[in-house]
Copies of this chain bind each other. A is one copy, B any other.
Amino acid sequence: MNRNDVTEKIVTAKVAKGIQWAEVAEQVGLSKEWTTAACLGQMTLDEKQAAIVGGIFGLTAEEQKWLQVVPYKGSLPSAVPTDPLIYRWYEIVNVYGTTIKELIHEEFGDGIMSAIDFSMDIQRQADPKGDRVNVVLSGKFLPYKTY
Protein backbone atom coordinates (compact mmCIF):
# COMPACT_ATOMS: atom_id res chain seq x y z
CA MET A 1 0.00 0.00 0.00
CA ASN A 2 1.14 3.55 -0.64
CA ARG A 3 -0.25 7.06 -0.61
CA ASN A 4 -1.32 6.86 -4.28
CA ASP A 5 -3.55 3.91 -3.44
CA VAL A 6 -5.21 6.00 -0.75
CA THR A 7 -5.63 8.95 -3.12
CA GLU A 8 -7.24 6.72 -5.73
CA LYS A 9 -9.59 5.27 -3.13
CA ILE A 10 -10.60 8.78 -2.04
CA VAL A 11 -11.25 9.92 -5.59
CA THR A 12 -13.20 6.77 -6.42
CA ALA A 13 -15.35 7.20 -3.31
CA LYS A 14 -15.90 10.85 -4.16
CA VAL A 15 -17.26 9.98 -7.60
CA ALA A 16 -19.36 7.09 -6.30
CA LYS A 17 -20.89 9.07 -3.43
CA GLY A 18 -21.01 12.50 -5.07
CA ILE A 19 -19.02 14.21 -2.31
CA GLN A 20 -18.01 17.88 -2.74
CA TRP A 21 -14.54 19.09 -1.73
CA ALA A 22 -16.12 22.12 -0.05
CA GLU A 23 -18.09 19.83 2.26
CA VAL A 24 -14.98 17.91 3.17
CA ALA A 25 -13.16 21.16 3.95
CA GLU A 26 -15.99 22.32 6.16
CA GLN A 27 -15.83 19.15 8.23
CA VAL A 28 -12.04 19.29 8.44
CA GLY A 29 -12.28 22.95 9.40
CA LEU A 30 -9.66 24.26 6.98
CA SER A 31 -9.78 25.95 3.58
CA LYS A 32 -11.07 23.98 0.60
CA GLU A 33 -7.73 24.55 -1.16
CA TRP A 34 -5.58 22.96 1.54
CA THR A 35 -8.07 20.18 2.21
CA THR A 36 -8.38 19.21 -1.44
CA ALA A 37 -4.60 19.18 -1.84
CA ALA A 38 -4.33 16.93 1.19
CA CYS A 39 -6.97 14.52 -0.14
CA LEU A 40 -5.15 14.44 -3.48
CA GLY A 41 -1.95 13.32 -1.78
CA GLN A 42 0.00 16.60 -1.55
CA MET A 43 -0.33 17.58 2.13
CA THR A 44 -0.03 15.83 5.50
CA LEU A 45 -2.97 15.54 7.87
CA ASP A 46 -2.82 15.12 11.60
CA GLU A 47 -4.54 12.21 13.30
CA LYS A 48 -7.81 14.01 13.92
CA GLN A 49 -8.03 15.41 10.37
CA ALA A 50 -7.23 11.97 8.99
CA ALA A 51 -10.03 10.46 11.02
CA ILE A 52 -12.53 12.97 9.63
CA VAL A 53 -11.38 12.44 6.05
CA GLY A 54 -11.31 8.69 6.66
CA GLY A 55 -14.86 8.80 7.89
CA ILE A 56 -16.10 10.70 4.86
CA PHE A 57 -14.41 8.45 2.30
CA GLY A 58 -14.60 5.14 4.18
CA LEU A 59 -10.85 4.64 4.80
CA THR A 60 -9.41 1.92 7.01
CA ALA A 61 -7.22 2.69 10.00
CA GLU A 62 -4.11 1.86 7.98
CA GLU A 63 -5.21 4.12 5.14
CA GLN A 64 -5.77 6.92 7.64
CA LYS A 65 -2.19 6.44 8.82
CA TRP A 66 -0.96 7.00 5.27
CA LEU A 67 -2.70 10.40 5.30
CA GLN A 68 -0.43 11.32 8.21
CA VAL A 69 2.79 10.44 6.37
CA VAL A 70 4.50 13.24 4.45
CA PRO A 71 3.92 12.36 0.78
CA TYR A 72 6.28 12.56 -2.20
CA LYS A 73 4.72 15.69 -3.65
CA GLY A 74 4.07 16.57 -7.31
CA SER A 75 0.62 15.96 -8.77
CA LEU A 76 1.25 16.02 -12.52
CA PRO A 77 2.22 13.16 -14.82
CA SER A 78 4.49 15.21 -17.11
CA ALA A 79 6.81 18.21 -16.86
CA VAL A 80 4.59 20.23 -19.17
CA PRO A 81 0.97 19.48 -18.19
CA THR A 82 -1.36 18.35 -21.01
CA ASP A 83 -4.64 19.18 -19.29
CA PRO A 84 -5.90 22.53 -20.67
CA LEU A 85 -6.93 24.00 -17.31
CA ILE A 86 -3.61 23.19 -15.66
CA TYR A 87 -1.69 24.15 -18.79
CA ARG A 88 -3.10 27.68 -18.62
CA TRP A 89 -1.36 28.03 -15.25
CA TYR A 90 1.87 26.70 -16.71
CA GLU A 91 1.42 29.20 -19.54
CA ILE A 92 1.07 32.04 -17.03
CA VAL A 93 4.36 30.96 -15.46
CA ASN A 94 5.96 30.68 -18.89
CA VAL A 95 4.72 33.98 -20.33
CA TYR A 96 4.77 36.08 -17.15
CA GLY A 97 7.66 34.32 -15.39
CA THR A 98 10.28 37.00 -15.99
CA THR A 99 7.72 39.72 -15.27
CA ILE A 100 6.86 38.23 -11.89
CA LYS A 101 10.56 37.96 -11.15
CA GLU A 102 11.27 41.56 -12.06
CA LEU A 103 8.41 43.01 -10.06
CA ILE A 104 8.97 41.01 -6.91
CA HIS A 105 12.68 41.88 -7.01
CA GLU A 106 11.86 45.55 -7.65
CA GLU A 107 9.70 45.58 -4.53
CA PHE A 108 11.58 43.23 -2.23
CA GLY A 109 15.12 42.73 -3.54
CA ASP A 110 16.72 39.32 -4.10
CA GLY A 111 14.76 36.41 -2.68
CA ILE A 112 11.68 34.34 -3.40
CA MET A 113 7.98 34.14 -2.68
CA SER A 114 7.56 31.05 -0.52
CA ALA A 115 5.56 28.12 -1.85
CA ILE A 116 5.61 26.58 1.64
CA ASP A 117 4.50 29.45 3.89
CA PHE A 118 1.86 29.93 1.27
CA SER A 119 -1.90 30.00 0.88
CA MET A 120 -4.28 30.09 -2.04
CA ASP A 121 -7.89 31.15 -2.25
CA ILE A 122 -9.98 30.41 -5.34
CA GLN A 123 -13.30 32.26 -5.71
CA ARG A 124 -15.96 32.87 -8.33
CA GLN A 125 -16.19 36.55 -9.21
CA ALA A 126 -19.50 37.43 -10.81
CA ASP A 127 -19.08 39.49 -13.95
CA PRO A 128 -21.72 40.49 -16.47
CA LYS A 129 -19.28 39.72 -19.33
CA GLY A 130 -18.84 36.22 -17.99
CA ASP A 131 -17.90 35.15 -14.47
CA ARG A 132 -14.25 35.13 -13.57
CA VAL A 133 -12.01 32.86 -11.56
CA ASN A 134 -10.39 34.99 -8.89
CA VAL A 135 -7.34 33.53 -7.21
CA VAL A 136 -5.38 35.07 -4.39
CA LEU A 137 -1.93 33.68 -3.77
CA SER A 138 -0.11 34.74 -0.64
CA GLY A 139 3.47 33.69 0.03
CA LYS A 140 5.95 35.00 2.57
CA PHE A 141 8.87 36.82 1.00
CA LEU A 142 12.13 35.12 1.89
CA PRO A 143 15.25 37.21 1.25
CA TYR A 144 18.49 35.54 0.18
CA LYS A 145 20.86 35.42 3.11
CA THR A 146 24.42 36.70 2.80
CA TYR A 147 26.98 34.95 4.94
Contacts and interface: CB of A to CB of B under 8 A. Distances in A.
A58 interface: no
This chain: how many copies in the complex? 10
A99 interface: yes
Interface residues of A, number: 99
Task: Please report whether the interface of chain A is mostly helix, strand, loop or mixed according to DSSP.
Answer: mixed
A12 B136 CA distance: 33
A119 B133 CA distance: 11
Given A21-B106, A62-B15, A83-B73, A142 B116 contact: yes
Interface of A: 1-2, 8, 11-12, 15-16, 18, 20-22, 30-34, 36-37, 40, 42-44, 62, 65-66, 69-70, 72-120, 122, 124-125, 127, 129-147
Given A22-B106, A108-B133, A93 B89 contact: yes
A112 B93 contact: no
